Amino acid sequence: KLRVRGEGLRTLSIAGMAAGFTALFGAPLGGGLFALEILHHKHLSEYFQALIPAFVASCASFIIFILITHIGIGPTWHFPMGGTPQLNDAFYAVGYGAVGAAVGWGFIALVRQLRRVFGHLPVPIYVKMGAAGLLLGVLAYYVPLARYFGHEQLAELLQEHFTVSFLVGLLVAKLVAIALTVTSGWRGGFIIPLFFVGATLGLLIHTLFPSQSLPLAMISCMAALNACATRTPISTAILLATLTGFQQPVPILFASLTGFFLAPRTPLINAQLAVPGAEEE
């Protein structure tokens, strides 16, 4: 209706995405950058024109979101307080990031495999969705923490104590649940679900090696896994610093960049492929 085309249309689209991500995350700076980064992870400068509109839309969305929900300003998840910052925290973050990237490779491979499977099934989409829904129901029955998109479940993860075997099962179940959802025709994303998987992975590392810093391990794995899958290292680091209230942004950035640089060459998200509309192999 506004008869906007070309650069103007792209700028408005990015501003709308930024507003939506801000309402989802409750983080205007991270949400605005995420909208820019996720569209073109290699040439962010191409979207510089949309930078200010994206941040304006993010701030407006944030104010409206707070006025409607009355949630206040503060971290979404309250992680246990870490110890005194150490010089080697960044190196530990790189190690955790490598583990997170490895899990990211597994998730990407699973999504691509299920996409091929559902793509070759000669049945209507509602049959595919029904079959996937049945499998999701089975997973939810046996592993209740694998339900939903993980926002409230992550908070529960921080409050309870779990065995190694349970955490491994939860990790696998959640990855399968996310992959089934995004490949069978159901609508939904995997950003916060991947944060949940990363937190589970970090908790698993801490359970196996109790001397490791729990918040550093969890947040580093969250950053690396999401950056590996979405190619958004800078905004992911900013988002997690905001969502968790973690006082050490540098290790988060190290972990996020590790996940980004260790990601597969071919992006998982279609919008990031070199040729628009190209199918993933």
Taking 70 as the threshold, does the pLDDT of residue 40 lie above it?
no
pLDDT digits (tens, 9 = 90+) for 60-74: 988 888 888 766 676
Helical spans, DSSP H, in the chain:
6-25, 28-39, 51-69, 89-120, 125-142, 151-159, 164-183, 191-208, 214-230, 233-244, 249-261
Taking 60 as the threshold, does the pLDDT of residue 279 lie above it?
no
Write the CA distances from 224 to 98, 111, 212, integer angstroms.
Answer: 7, 18, 17
DSSP state of 271: G
Question: Among residues 279, 281, 243, 276, which one has the least CA distance to residue 79?
Answer: 243
Taking 90 as the threshold, does the pLDDT of residue 176 lie above it?
yes
pLDDT digits (tens, 9 = 90+) for 149-166: 777 888 888 888 899 999
Taking 60 as the threshold, does the pLDDT of residue 1 lie above it?
no
pTM over 0.75: yes
- Residue 34's pLDDT is 80
pLDDT digits (tens, 9 = 90+) for 193-226: 999 999 999 999 999 999 888 899 999 999 999 9
* Separation CA 177–CA 32 (nearest Å): 28
Write the CA distances from 34 to 14, 66, 106, integer angstroms.
Answer: 10, 20, 23
Task: Map out the domains of the chain with their CATH numbers.
Answer: 6-69 (no CATH), 89-272 (1.10.3080.10)
Neighbouring C-beta atoms of residue 275, cutoff 10 Å: 6
| DSSP per-residue codes, 112-151 | HHHHHHHHH--S-HHHHHHHHHHHHHHHHHH-GGGSSSSH
Range 78-94 average pLDDT: 81
Backbone angles phi, psi at 227, to 5 degrees: -65, -35
